[in-house]
């Protein structure tokens, strides 16, 4: 495999890993407080829904849109999505937003689960099933979005899927082995890195897709795929500048 393939796999692995860690925290909280049967049933239902969603979204995007328009659409969406991650990472690094803590999230989820009265349907705890389903599905949709956009834009869906699948397996193994949230993972740092990757790849593909307005063919970046490294460096420099500048502004302006 060449460098572009490894880069694609690393990108989907890192982004998916973060989402899987957050989903694991929710399922663990429901399993510990409300029962594993209901939590796992909700997880399984969410996985089935995600499979159907992935098939439908992937088929629609790859079939209905020409190559240049596909790059423009998914690149723009990826850029918007990446900037949201990067914004949160910058605010956290600047001390204007609390760091995400899986231990605190686990404590919050378990406390909420204990406050809700017991209720069952079809032999399953309704609250545990719904919360597990919602948590896994919402985090999973982000994973699906990342895999589809990266895979289709890079014309290498297989590598994108492999990177995400490896992340899922590693998080699952760690969860089974430790039976607790993966708080030791530097999640805030990973999210910062993912934000940089999403914003950079989104910029790259969105600009290439602008060729749809000038003849229908994708535009080419000077240096080809090496331009992605330049974009990462630019977004990193911009984000670090904001990290140092925002604390000097009024809080209401920064937020």
pLDDT digits (tens, 9 = 90+) for 19-55: 898 899 899 989 888 888 999 999 999 999 998 888 8
Residue recorded with tokens 């590598």: 159
Please report which confidence band the pLDDT of residue 250 belongs to, taking 50, 70 and 90 as the band edges. Answer: low
Looking at mean pLDDT, say which of 68-77, 167-176, 186-195 comes out highest: 167-176
Question: pLDDT over 90 for what percent of the chain?
Answer: 21
Are 50 and 144 contacting, i.e. CB atoms less than 8 angstroms apart?
A: yes
- The predicted-structure confidence for 190-235, as pLDDT tens digits, reads as follows 888 888 988 998 899 889 888 888 877 788 888 887 888 899 999 9
Angstrom CA distances, 1 to 112, 156, 159, 207, 229, stand at 47, 12, 10, 26, 19
pTM value > 0.85: no
Q: Do 212 and 72 form a contact (C-beta atoms < 8 A)?
A: yes
* Per-residue confidence (pLDDT) for residue 2, from 0 to 100: 62
The pLDDT, as a whole number, for residue 254 is: 46
- pLDDT for 41 equals 94
- Tell whether the model's pLDDT for residue 91 goes beyond 50: yes
Q: How far apart are CA 23 and CA 104, in angstroms?
A: 14
Distance CA 74, CA 149 (A): 6
Identify whether the C-beta of residue 86 lies closer than 8 Å to the C-beta of residue 191. Answer: no
Q: Are 110 and 131 in contact (CB under 8 A)?
A: no
Buried b (16+ CB within 10 A) or exposed e, 225-250: eebbeebbeebbeebeebbeebeeee
195-204 burial code (b ≥16 CB/10 A, e <16)? bbbbbbbbbb
Q: Are 188 and 92 in contact (CB under 8 A)?
A: yes
- On the question of pLDDT at 253 being above 50, the answer is no
């Amino acid at each position: 495999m060449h460098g572009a393939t490894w880069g694609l796999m690393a990108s989907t692995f890192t982004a998916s890993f973060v989402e899987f860690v957050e989903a694991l925290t929710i399922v663990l909280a429901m399993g510990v407080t409300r029962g594993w049967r209901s939590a796992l049933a909700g997880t399984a239902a969410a996985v089935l829904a995600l499979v159907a969603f992935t098939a439908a979204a992937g088929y629609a995007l790859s079939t209905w849109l020409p190559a240049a328009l596909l790059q423009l659409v998914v690149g723009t969406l990826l850029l918007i999505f990446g900037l949201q991650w990067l914004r949160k990472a910058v605010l956290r690094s600047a001390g204007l937003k609390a760091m995400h803590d899986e231990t605190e999230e686990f404590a919050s989820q378990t406390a909420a689960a204990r406050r809700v009265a017991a209720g069952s349907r079809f032999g399953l705890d309704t609250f545990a099933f719904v919360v597990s389903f919602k948590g896994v599905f919402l985090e999973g949709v982000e994973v699906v979005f990342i895999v589809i956009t990266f895979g289709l834009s890079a014309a290498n869906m297989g590598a994108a899927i492999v990177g995400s699948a490896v992340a899922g397996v590693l998080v699952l193994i760690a969860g089974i082995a430790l039976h607790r949230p993966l708080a030791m993972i530097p999640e805030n740092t990973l999210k910062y890195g993912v934000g940089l990757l999403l914003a950079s790849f989104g910029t790259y593909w969105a600009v290439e897709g602008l060729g749809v307005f000038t003849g229908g063919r994708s535009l080419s970046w000077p240096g080809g795929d090496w331009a992605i490294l330049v974009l990462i460096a630019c977004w990193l420099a911009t984000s670090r500048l904001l990290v140092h500048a925002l604390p000097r502004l009024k809080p209401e302006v920064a937020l």
